A and B are shown apart, each in its own frame.
Chain A
């Protein structure tokens, strides 16, 4: 089972994330949880989230980049759901060995993500924080899928990206079937 955690505050005003979501929504072996739809009041059901994570062998975090990191509700999700003794610390082994795929969309493109550019650094400079979040819980980091210049790319490009996303998830599901998934699969 692959768990897709989506975090977009205005899904029906989204272009990139909506396209990505549409591309995968009918895949088998997926559980999709849209955080802003589930918890509009920011009162996360920690138990439900943890049970969903326990069912999964692969966890996908899919969201737009806001202020160089995840949107507020996903940030809160990290804080509330990844609890000590469950996700980290003594006895905190619930996520160990699970695979983690990061799918992020950014407004900035290659020319703005560079030394001296609008964002001052290449995009890779902003990755370590989220990668370490996964690593800290013992998850295996997969090659992320990053959509940059999310406002600039045209529909054709966007649907191509959606296809790639769908393909990656289908492969992951297939690997699961062959027992190559997470540590406990």
Chain B
């Protein structure tokens, strides 16, 4: 590495990303292509601002690790179980459909059998990073297509483990390896068991203890420590780091800290993923490309074409809807980050002859850059087809809770219980760990976190919910939440709790229309009981309370409309309004008495 400081490097990366990514997004190419372009630009074959590509590639793989942790977090055990079919069924079909023709093709272009098997199977793997990022940007992750694709990707992560183990076995100088297969397996088992035990029994109490200290950064630090620690353990055992992180995430998916973990890890993941794509871009060897453009073009075109065709064919049996198969194929058409690892190993083990490892690595990187373009093409194709046929109904996502409840104290709980009893899934956010612990024992789905943080709202699904019940008692936080929702999630209808009249006016000023004063209804009820005890019959007492409510609301509107005027004006108005209500009640009584009149029998007056 040149004598460039860390800081300068950071500036180079960030600047390249800030320039290229928005540009790519602007042209609807997706952020992945933007990062890749940024990588090409600053890499050794571009402006040569950065040189140590391998180290950066390795470091930035942590982005993929964090991503899989987050994906795991989003999968509750029940859903994980439901995914078994997609993972093992779909994954196997895909590996066979893509692997077999790719191995044969590799053999056909002159690789020895060992090399052909390694190259073919490695190319059959897709890039989780690229595919998931692309799907997320297009909102496909929750859709059936996204779920199937994700299941396939997960299986690939599993399949990569034996593949990595296979490379030395296919090597010519076999003797030096082998033998330790049993030991390797044992290591894997121990590592996975350790992750499961830690995830199940240790992390929750620790997270709770840390949450209680109210030190946000420590919570974040622990979250990162957790993920990276697990990744390291898995790597030591020879398992995919990403797979380990995924496992850890899945184990914490049903915990109350799920959303808090998501919010804390998300920004790191985003940056590291970006760095990963940049590193891939930097690793594109334009020297090799320039010297053998035809061979490489054929290589990329050939393997992407074989893979795409095989994926379209496999999509049917896996259960992808007909119209979505091209998109499915395009999403998974590229080579994956595992291919880099496998080719590196293959070179060391001399399984791949000549410069094939370099050429294949380059082909994989180029295929990643091709993905966004293929996806665009597949989407155009689908639109064309859909324009003809009637559009299928969008699947409604059961897992997206239609309603969020912010603040689960005495107020929010009653709202929540009514909703739960009606069979509605509500996502509940509160920031008191002790309270949450108690509520969870009663079987509520409650998550720990500060509802006035934008990232947490995103994580909780504010983007897709329909209603948010703002039951936060603290006026300031309550209003902050309203501001956030109004500017970032305008589709969310707000039901707001108001502490008092001043708070109510503040809410109205922000355009909130559904507001409940927290004590108003219960106080009215108490008033009714008092009237009853003084001899007013229950139904009449109720009607008076109803009248009072309506009158009171009208008065609030009048007083609020002119900002209230000065204090004495205000008081005069309130007094006046009270007199009005008294007169109104008097009139009601007279009217009731008039009902006793003879209007129903005096025939002669008609």
Contact = CB atoms under 8 A, between A and B. Distances in A.
Given A13-B593, A118-B606, A107 B538 contact: no
Contact of A41 (B540, B542, B601, B603): B542
Interface in A138-163: 149, 151-152
Interface in B585-604: 592-593, 595-603
A114 to B, nearest CB: 9
Contacts of A9: 539-540
Interface in A117-148: 117-118
A11 to B, nearest CB: 6
Interface in A89-136: 106-109, 111-112, 117-118
A110 to B, nearest CB: 9
Contacts of B603: 111-112, 117-118
Contact of A10 (B592, B599, B600, B606): B592
Interface string B520-531: 000000001000
A134 B592 CA distance: 31
Interface string B563-606: 00000000000000000000000000000110111111111001
Pairs A-B, 6 closest by C-beta atoms? A107-B600, A40-B538, A40-B542, A36-B539, A40-B539, A118-B603
A164 interface: no
Given A36-B537, A37-B537, A37-B539, A13 B599 contact: no
A40 B536 CA distance: 12
B117 to A, nearest CB: 69
A116 B503 CA distance: 61
A14 B596 CA distance: 8
Q: Which of A10, A36, A38, A108 has the most CB of B within 10 A?
A: A10
Where chain A touches its partner, the secondary structure class is loop
A183 to B, nearest CB: 34
Contact of A118 (B539, B597, B601): B601
B542 A10 contact: no
Contacts of B596: 13, 15, 151
B601 A10 contact: no
A115 to B, nearest CB: 13
Contacts, number: 55
B593 A37 contact: no
A12 interface: yes
Interface of B: 528, 537-542, 592-593, 595-603, 606
Nearest to B541: A40
A107 B599 contact: yes
Nearest to B525: A41
Contacts of B539: 9-10, 36-37, 40
Contacts of B592: 10, 13
A80 to B, nearest CB: 17
A151 B541 contact: no
24 contacts: A9-B539, A9-B540, A10-B539, A10-B540, A13-B592, A13-B593, A13-B596, A15-B596, A36-B539, A40-B537, A40-B542, A107-B598, A107-B599, A107-B601, A108-B600, A108-B601, A109-B601, A117-B603, A118-B600, A151-B596, A151-B597, A151-B598, A151-B600, A152-B598
Q: Which of B537, B593, B597, B606 has the most CB of A within 10 A?
A: B537
A15 B600 CA distance: 15
A149 B600 CA distance: 8
A37 B541 CA distance: 10
Contacts of A111: 601, 603
Contacts of A10: 537, 539-540, 592
Given A10-B592, A13-B593, A112 B537 contact: no
Contacts of B606: 118
A112 B599 CA distance: 11
Contacts of A149: 601
Interface in A24-54: 36-38, 40-41
A41 B596 CA distance: 23
Contacts of A152: 598, 601
Contacts of A38: 538
B125 to A, nearest CB: 60
Contacts of B599: 107
Contacts of A109: 601
Nearest to B589: A13
Contacts of B598: 107, 151-152
Given A13-B593, A151-B601, A152-B598, 8 more contacts: A9-B540, A10-B537, A36-B538, A40-B538, A107-B599, A108-B600, A111-B601, A118-B602
A40 B595 CA distance: 19
Contacts of A36: 537-539
A148 to B, nearest CB: 8
Contacts of B540: 9-10
A109 B604 CA distance: 12
Contacts of B601: 107-109, 111-112, 118, 149, 151-152
A112 B592 CA distance: 23
Contacts of B542: 40-41
A11 B592 CA distance: 11
B335 to A, nearest CB: 65
Contacts of A12: 537
A90 B542 CA distance: 38
A40 B529 CA distance: 12
A37 B540 CA distance: 9
Contacts of A40: 528, 537-539, 541-542
A10 to B, nearest CB: 6
A8 to B, nearest CB: 9
